[in-house]
Amino acid sequence: MDVESDISRTDRSSTNSNIESLGLTNSTLTYDGNFIRSSAGVCMTGEIVFGLLVWTLIGGTDYFHAHALGWVMFVSVFYWVFTIILFLLYLTMTQTRIPQIPWKTLGVCFNGSASVLYLTATVISAVSLNVANRGRYYFISWVASTIFASLAMLCYAGNTVVILKSRRSKSEDT
């Protein structure tokens, strides 16, 4: 029994040293409650909520009659999924355990591209309203999705500005 426990301890310590040599830690995830109250956390929460509303409002209708709404669905679902992933990474402070990734640059690129693509999605959604008949249930859903797409775009743009300001203040400190 002692030999087996010594072997398993040796295996664990060699695995831990391999992980530590890569710059990664083997600790449990921590919860950063301050992130949700930060401006980036508030922006990301808005991005998640508004993005969800965009694709559920469009997805609940016969959006295939307006082919351009397929682009709006793609943009909203794509960025919604990746925003949730990034939100969970920041909430659990995983980004601090992987310093090899330039998180601020990634955030600027991600949020900047989301702002531009959500702007195109908002315009396409607004133009596609001509296809819908006024008074029909899907017309109201498409109008609401256009409004929420513009709000999501503003959240992504705001998050880009927040990251750029934090990046600029860090570079001025050094």
Q: Which residue has the tokens 């992987």?
A: 98
Q: Encode 1-19 in three state secondary structure.
A: CHHHHHHHHHHHHHHHHHH
**Residue 133: how many CB atoms within 10 A of its CB?**
7
Whether residue 8 is contained in a domain is answered as no
CB 66 within 8 A of CB 128: yes
Q: How far apart are CA 38 and CA 165, in angstroms?
A: 13
Higher pLDDT, 140 or 77: 77
Confidence of residue 29 (pLDDT cuts 50, 70, 90): low
Domain carrying residue 134: 38-165
The share of the chain scoring above pLDDT 90, in percent, equals: 55
CB 161 within 8 A of CB 111: no
- pLDDT surpassing 50 at residue 10: no
Whether residue 102 is contained in a domain is answered as yes
Distances (CA, A) of 1 to 11, 14, 17, 57, 117: 15, 20, 24, 61, 61
| pTM attached to this predicted model | 0.78
Residues 39-67: what's their mean pLDDT? 91
For residue 31 the two structure tokens come to: 């919860």
- Amino acid 49: pLDDT: 97
Q: Which residue has the tokens 């990474």?
A: 89
Whether residue 4 is contained in a domain is answered as no
Whether residue 10 is contained in a domain is answered as no
- pLDDT surpassing 80 at residue 11: no
Q: What is the mean pLDDT of the chain?
A: 83
Structural domain count, the chain: 1
Whether residue 1 is contained in a domain is answered as no
Whether residue 77 is contained in a domain is answered as yes
Higher pLDDT, 63 or 82: 82
- pLDDT surpassing 80 at residue 27: no
- Amino acid 134: pLDDT: 67
Whether residue 150 is contained in a domain is answered as yes
Whether residue 22 is contained in a domain is answered as no
Q: Is 121 helix (H, G, I), strand (E, B) or coil?
A: helix
